[in-house]
Amino acid sequence: MENMPKTTNLSLKIDSNLKKEAENLFQRLGLSMNTAINVFLTQSIKEQAIPFEIHENKPSKKLLSALKEAEKIKKHPGKYKGYNSVDKLFEDLLK
């Protein structure tokens, strides 16, 4: 038992939805939350860095295009047909 590493507790405050999603993911990967956090910390120490790229969230080209289209529709609503019902929308789409 001399070779067993000492352990300590770590207390974190995180968003409850984030925790649930992470637990679900790790369960599918066959990991506990504890193991996943230990993997992250071990890899961080090994690489002497965060073990993945961190960058600003930038909207995708597809999202930017959709936002631009939404602005056109907003500025010129008379040019575009609107729907108050999903049923009506699908009725027109299926014509």
Residue 78 falls inside a structural domain = yes
In a domain, 2, yes or no: no
Q: Is residue 53 part of a domain?
A: no
Domain that holds residue 34: 16-47
Does residue 38 fall inside a structural domain? Answer: yes
What is the tally of structural domains in the chain? 2
**CA torsion sign, 44 to 53 to 30 to 20?**
positive
* Residue 20 banded pLDDT, cuts 50, 70, 90: very high
Same structural domain, 66 and 42: no
Structure pTM?
Answer: 0.55
pLDDT digit string, tens, across residues 27-84:
999 999 999 999 999 999 999 999 988 877 888 899 999 999 999 999 998 888 888 9
Q: How many whole angstroms separate alpha carbon 55 and alpha carbon 63?
A: 18
Residue at 4 is within a domain? no
